[in-house]
Amino acid sequence: MREIAVLSLTRLGDQIQVTPVLSGLRKRYPDARLHLVVKKAFRNVTDLLPGVDVIHEIDGDALAQALTDPELPFVERYRRAQRLIAPLLDQRFDLALNLTHSNSSSVLLSMLNVGTLVGATLDREGGRLVANPWLRHMSTLVRTRRLYLINLVDVYLGATGLLGRGERLSIRIPESARTVATELLPGGEPRIAIQLAASDEIRAWPVERFAATLRDLRRRLPELRFVVVGVPSELPRAKALEQACPECTFENLIGKTELAVLAAVVERVRLLLTNDTGTMHVAAAVGTPTCALFLGPAYPHETGPYAEGHWLIHSRVGCAPCNYHVQCGFPVCHTDVPPEWLAEVAFRILRGAAVGEVPPLPRAELLRSGFDEDGLWELVPAHRQVPEATDLLGLVYRGVFVETLGGPPAHLERAWTRAADRYGVKPGEWSTVLPDDLLPRLARCGELAHRGEQVAMGLGHPSADGAAARQAGNILAEVDQEIYGHARGQPLLLPLSYTLEGDLLSLPEAELPELALESAHHYRALRRRVALLERAIHGPDSPTLSLPKEANP
């Protein structure tokens, strides 16, 4: 493995979340050259990333301007697009990873001269294909996020075979940046940093709520200084915050910190109070505690800071997390967190007191980040919650998916223990929380998966003739439709449908026997998922249930 490319055509936070993969790849392939493909606008992030040998910039802004300029002849737009990607096409890569989720990146990946592809790409005829089960599942399960409790970084690590090896977020802060940070924040007074905005308005907590929080904190800790960070467009928010808190001491660094300095500034403060932002991931990378609000479509289980000991707040209102691109006229998740309560959380973090002893909120949860027994990142609620079906099944799905994707085996005992600790639901009592139709539907899905596996195995036999193959193909099509029907009829089972559908759609171009065996593997994986879910629901005292063997992808 000599040349490895990582496509990360995203924003600051996503770039930081790629760092465990970069450092893991560097360790595994110490002699390989590591190429990172980024958008020019985020080029400066790459200075902080470890282990990268070659940076390829794509000037996304110039391309965007060219593609949307009605005055520019089409042929010129084409030429510009061609010029933009031409340098990448000259290069031969042994391995290319697409850790971007856009369609354009999948087209780009398909154009590269690559030995092994990982991530979203196109098949030779132009169909979208996610060449890796971890990334494929993530892209389909984004539609049932409350049941998918796996952090994005673990997905990346799983996709690259680096899961559970202790890789963490990391960035390199140049000493010069630390010097600037010291000049900007002289003295040793206690400080917290605040990031007011987010990538999306709906993800940003209202300024007046931040202000009320800071006033409360100031009352408790008069010596505390407040460092406001962000890009120039956040200046009006910062002004509004300062006006609303005349008694607070602000150090307004908005627009004054290039990225390395931002990292050094965050490193110098005791706490970052923020929405789900790139700065949050910077804080996690430099070891500064964060207290982060996940609002709107932001989902802490998915993009929480990949480190231990961070405190995240998320609404438990039914619509949270909302779908991407939702236009919400009444974001109740913004009002679920009282400012004085958040001030109490921040106060306890700063004082090193027991944060989990803050009173619980009726409609929001406080979560602490950490790593589970297998080294996968997880969130632990600070308070016991009223159980919802998604809470329980989310615990099982987590283990089930990790296992069937080639990660550590699922331990139902853990799910039972966590369900009892976090939600007060003992093993064997899960049915009291779950809908009645769940088990019958699961049973039918299991039968169908078994049938699918058998038929596919028969097809994989070299003696299968044309007529038999057609008949088997028809049976499988019916089996698939019935599975999809059963699973889609119950939202809690949607992950089963989406994953099987995604897997079957992404079957490689191959001869029939090979395709059949690959399909059989996916049906077996489904059987295993179904069986684990059934077992989890019935509890440990259900001797009649036997689990199919683990499915090895």
Q: Which is nearer to another protein, 110 or 404 (CB)?
A: 110
**Sole binder of another protein in the list 87, 115, 127, 190 (CB under 8 A):** 127
Q: How far apart are CA 321 and CA 168, in angstroms?
A: 26
Measured CA to CA, the distance from residue 476 to residue 456 in angstroms comes to 8
| Smallest distance from another protein to CB 211, Å | 22
Q: Pick the stretch among 81-89, 224-232, 239-247, 441-449 that binds another protein (CB under 8 A).
A: 81-89
Contact by Cβ (8 Å): 409, 163? no
Least CB distance from residue 79 to another protein, whole Å?
8
Q: Which of residues 4-63 bind another protein (CB under 8 A)?
A: 60, 63
Instruction: Please report whether residue 330 would count as binding another protein according to CB under 8 A.
Output: no
Chain-centre distance for alpha carbon 497: 20
> Looking at beta carbons only, is 318 or 329 nearer to another protein?
329
Give the N- to C-terminal CA distance of the chain in Å, as an integer: 22
CA–CA separation, 462 and 517 (whole Å): 11
For the CB of residue 140, give the shortest distance to another protein in the complex, in Å. Answer: 19
The stretch near another protein (CB under 8 A) out of 68-76, 306-314, 432-440, 457-465 is 68-76
* Using rule CB under 8 A, residue 110 touches another protein: yes
- Please tell me what DSSP assigns to residue 551: P
Assigned token pair, 37? 């493909």
Tell me if 517 contacts another protein by CB under 8 A.
Answer: no
The 253-272 contact track toward another protein, x by CB under 8 A, reads --------------------
What is the smallest separation between the CB atom of 455 and another protein, expressed in angstroms?
25
Cβ closer to another protein: 114 or 456?
114
Q: Going by DSSP bridges, is the β-strand pair 271-275/191-195 parallel, antiparallel, or unpaired?
A: parallel
On the 0-12 / 13-18 / 19+ scale of CB atoms within 10 A, 134 is buried
Smallest gap from Cβ 120 to another protein, in A, equals: 11
Contacts with another protein, 158-197, as mask; x by CB under 8 A: ----------------------------------------
Comparing C-alpha atoms, which of 288, 334, 339 is closest to residue 311?
288
Tell how strand 113-122 and strand 128-131 pair up: antiparallel
Task: Quote the least distance from Cβ 96 to another protein, whole Å.
Answer: 15
Min dist CB 272 to another protein, Å, is: 25
Q: Does 73 bind another protein (CB under 8 A)?
A: yes
The helix or strand, by DSSP H or E, that contains position 33, with its residue range, turns out to be strand 33-39
What is the Cα–Cα distance from 444 to 495, expressed in whole angstroms?
A: 15
By rule CB under 8 A, what string of x and - marks binding of each residue 310-329 to another protein? ---------------x-x--
Contact with another protein (CB under 8 A) among 54, 111, 353, 505: 111
Residues 89-108 that bind another protein (CB under 8 A): 102-104, 106-108
Write down the least CB distance from residue 526 to another protein, Å. 27
Write down the least CB distance from residue 253 to another protein, Å. 25
Q: Which stretch binds another protein (CB under 8 A): 72-80, 370-378, 436-444, 478-486?
A: 72-80
* Residue 66 or 439 with smaller CB distance to another protein: 66
Binders of another protein among residues 194 to 253 (CB under 8 A) are 200-201
74 binds another protein (CB under 8 A): yes
Contacts of 480 (CB under 8 A, 6+ apart): 452, 500, 501, 504
Cβ closest to another protein, residue 122 vs residue 469: 122
Dig out the tokens for 551 from the structure.
């499915």
Q: How far is the CB of 295 from another protein (least distance, A)?
A: 14
Cα(134)–Cα(402) distance, integer angstroms? 9
**Strand partners for 486:** none
DSSP string, 79-146: HHHHHHHHHHHT-EEEEEEE----HHHHHHHHHSEEEEEEEEEE-TTS-EEEESHHHHHHHHHGGGGG
Q: Tell me: does residue 505 bind another protein (CB under 8 A).
A: no
On whether the CB atoms of residues 231 and 304 are closer than 8 A, the answer is: no
The stretches of 405-548 forming alpha helices (DSSP H) are 412-423, 438-459, 466-488, 494-505, 512-538
**Residue of 377, 398, 390 whose CA lies nearest to 493:** 390
**295 interacts with another protein by CB under 8 A:** no
Least Å distance between CB 276 and another protein? 17
Q: Is the peptide bond before 289 cis (omega within 30 degrees of 0)?
A: no
CB closer to another protein, 14 vs 216: 14
Residue 353, Ramachandran bin (φ over 0: left; ψ between -120 and 50: alpha; else beta): beta
Q: Rounded distance, CA 192 to CA 228, Å?
A: 9
Could you tell me if 315 and 328 are in contact, meaning their C-beta atoms sit under 8 angstroms apart? no
Pick the closer one to another protein by CB: 75 or 354. 75
| Segment lying near another protein (by CB under 8 A), choices 123-131, 244-252, 263-271, 346-354 | 123-131
**Nearest approach, Cβ of 60 to another protein (angstroms)?**
8
Least distance CB 200 / another protein (angstroms): 8
Binding residues for another protein, rule: CB under 8 A, are 60, 63-64, 67-68, 70, 73-78, 81-82, 85, 102-104, 106-108, 110-111, 122, 124-127, 200-201, 325, 327
